[in-house]
A = this chain, B = another copy of it.
């Protein structure tokens, strides 16, 4: 088991380095949470992560998962997102920026980047006197699969 995955291993190493630098401690719980997060599919909620982590070690508490995800976010390995319902979802931080397209029926989340939009955002902010620092853009719609599947919802 514990199938190896280059990205996950790299991330794990980065996390360990971060802990050392900050004089924080390495613990079995942190290792378990970080490992599962890094091997996962992305856009996980704390609840989902908690569930997965518990399967491996049922004594880990909710608070520890929250605390660890905060750490991961601080050290730049995870990005915290808040979609429509507000509960946090984490994704593995990638070097390149992207936005999200979300299916309103099945909840599928697709990532995309569109430089032309970014350029226009920059231009718009400048035009209104702002120095752009960041943005949040989410597109909501219905995916192909759901449209094929008919209108249940």
Which stretch from A30-38, A58-66, A119-127 is at the chain B interface? A119-127
**Assembly of this chain: how many copies?**
2
Enumerate chain B residues within 8 angstroms of A2, measured Cβ to Cβ.
none
The 0/1 profile, CB within 8 Å of B marked 1, for residues 46-89 of chain A is: 00000000000000000000000000000000000010001000
Question: Smallest CB–CB gap between A102 and chain B, Å?
Answer: 9
Give the residue of B120, B133, B136 whose beta carbon is less than 8 angstroms from that of A136. Answer: B136
B139 lies within 8 A of A125 (CB): yes
The 0/1 profile, CB within 8 Å of B marked 1, for residues 104-140 of chain A is: 1000001010101100110011001111111111111
Given known contacts A82-B86, A136-B138, A143-B129, is B121 in contact with A120 (CB within 8 Å)? no
Given known contacts A82-B86, A116-B120, is B140 in contact with A128 (CB within 8 Å)? no
A144 at the interface (CB under 8 A from B): yes
A40 at the interface (CB under 8 A from B): no
Given known contacts A117-B117, A120-B120, A130-B103, is B112 in contact with A141 (CB within 8 Å)? no
Give the residue of B120, B135, B141 whose beta carbon is less than 8 angstroms from that of A125. Answer: B141
